[in-house]
Chains A and B, each alone.
Chain A
Amino acid sequence: MPLNTSPTPTSRSGGCTLTGALSVTTHVRDAVSIIHGPKGCAHHNFSLLHATGLDNDRAVIPGIVSSALLESDVVFGGEEALLRTIRSACSGGAGAVFVLSTCIVETIGDDVEEVCSRDWPVPVIPVPTAGFLGGTFHHGVNNALIAISSLAGPVEKDLTVNIIGEMNLEYEVEENYAEVLRLLHSLGLPTNIRFVHNLNTWDIASLGAARLNILRDPSLVPVGEHLSRIFSTPYVPSFPSGLSGTLAFLQAVGNACGVDSRRALEIEQALQAEVLADFADIGDQRGVFSGPVLNGECSHAAQEAADALHIRVSTDPELPALPVHPSVGTAGIRRMLHRWRRSLHA
């Protein structure tokens, strides 16, 4: 029975533009994110970000303030309230101020860009985030990343790699980063910055130094394109998914950086064989895929792992469930196989 009782189907990518942008801007830890709108827009986002941070063992208070518009600001325009809020944020020692718009200020036509462009002691950067314009969570993420990239100036290229657009609200954000880090190390490539994950304003200055940007997923391609125009940095469009996808990732990153990936590929193939051998006990069984996100990429990675272990996947609901989650790298497949084992042995 479908559990979603809302009138239209929703998904992670269908969320509010504002929330998407905040999932990025609040990770610039010394910055203040101003939500220019009624205070309720700030409160529920604050709660969500705080709770998600706790889930990821990170007790950080998100740096969010609201311009707290009331009806009179809507009637007379909210720019004065925004000015006051920016002034207060600047005087509090913020490294940068991000100004995120809401539905009502876009409706009444506040000129947020003009207010931000005035002479402020720290960078004040507008991020368009009004949800009613039809954007989604992903648009908010992309708008925020593109806006924040304006904090980076021209720098000399080095041998490092940037991680772009991690899903800061996903449960396995650190595990997924660790897996990509492991793969990069096996190619001998150091990382530059996690743009944007738990950093400070001054860290962003070196954004253009990396010789490659690795995007978290293909919805960030507009960000990859933007950074490639500004800093001439090429990008790989996604973290690796699945066994063969991980090998392809190593090859693509190696090629992009002019590094010989043959050794790294051998090591990875050996590791994957080891992982599959570890799960030989669930081979030759039958199950049915289940999970909240059964997109093409997830299903492909899961099917590939099932085939490698000779697990027969059917649609018979009586069979044990094989939980499918978005997984990153060989380590992601291993975690998925642990879940399958629990389910098949239950």
Chain B
Amino acid sequence: MKQIALYGKGGIGKSTTSANLSAALSERGLNILQIGCDPKRDSTRMLMHGRFIPTVMDLVRERGDAAVTLADVEFKGYNGVRCVEAGGPEPGVGCAGRGIIATFQILEKFGALSGDVIVYDVLGDVVCGGFAMPMREGYAQEIYLVTSGELMSLYAANNICKAIKRLASRSTGKCRLAGVICNAKGQPREEELVAEFARAVNSSLVEFIPRDRVVQLAELNKKTVIEYDPQSAQAGHYRSLAARVMENTNLTIPTPLEIDALEHLAYSYI
């Protein structure tokens, strides 16, 4: 079983990328589980045709964890992709990070962490230990960074490199950086810049996904691009990403950049 996690700045397109990656992987006949690890709970929505599925934390809040079963939290989406949303507290109260930890414990108890590939779609930044949970021992060993060529997006990706490096240095730390996915904003020389960033943090660019109107159209139709327009060039990019993920063996301990070096890098690609 392969377990991968996608991390990146909020709004960069992690959920869109994750859902399309899961859809493309499922086309290869694989048993896929996608887990949304964000209280916003919209990771799996396109796989579920626009439906916000009940989250693990919602059900625990309503019924108590003893009364929740796997069937209550795992939903079959497009092409059999199994979808789970961790959920979390209302914005502004409680501890969302602990919610992620609790969700993982419940999924473990159910034996839900199975299949050919598990895709963890994790919120913007690794703000506390709870959001590093998918990188811990027994969960995702392969971490993909989703970024555009914008400085703030690279900055967030670089911060996540720091978290991976820290966790990889632990005696139980098995997580590695598996690659950088460029979800392009359409700025000039964006692919070169992100490829250079990937090299600088001791990794590589695994897929360049150009900006394409079809992504918005698919979203408005509450579908993944794979389902909405399977013949599109964009769908081809997601299939290519799926192929790269399955064959990828280049797992590294990242070398995060100092802020000056990062800014210098971005500046040199103006």
Contact = CB atoms under 8 A, between A and B. Distances in A.
Contacts of A77: 89-90, 93-94
Interface in B60-99: 60-61, 64-65, 88-90, 93-96, 98-99
Contact of A72 (B65, B90, B96): B65
Interface in A60-90: 71-79
Contacts of A74: 94-95, 98
Contact of A107 (B60, B61, B95, B99): B95
B217 to A, nearest CB: 37
Q: How large is the interface on B (under 10, 10 to 19, 20 to 34, 35 or more residues)?
A: 10 to 19
Interface residues of A, number: 13
Contacts of B60: 72, 75
Given A108-B94, A108-B95, A76 B102 contact: no
B89 A71 contact: no
Contacts, number: 41
B57 interface: yes
Nearest to B94: A77
Interface-centre pick from A72, A75, A78, A79 (highest chain B CB count, 10 A): A75
A109 interface: yes
Contacts of A110: 93
A318 B148 CA distance: 77
A42 to B, nearest CB: 21
Contacts of B102: 71-72, 75
Nearest to B60: A72
Given A108-B94, A108-B95, A75 B64 contact: no
A245 to B, nearest CB: 50
Interface in B94-112: 94-96, 98-99, 102
A106 to B, nearest CB: 12
B57 to A, nearest CB: 6
Query: Lowest 6 A-B CB distances belong to which pairs?
Result: A77-B93, A77-B94, A75-B99, A108-B95, A76-B94, A76-B89
Interface of A: 71-79, 107-110
18 contacts: A72-B60, A72-B64, A72-B102, A73-B94, A74-B95, A75-B88, A75-B89, A75-B94, A75-B95, A75-B98, A76-B94, A77-B90, A77-B93, A78-B94, A79-B93, A108-B93, A108-B95, A110-B93
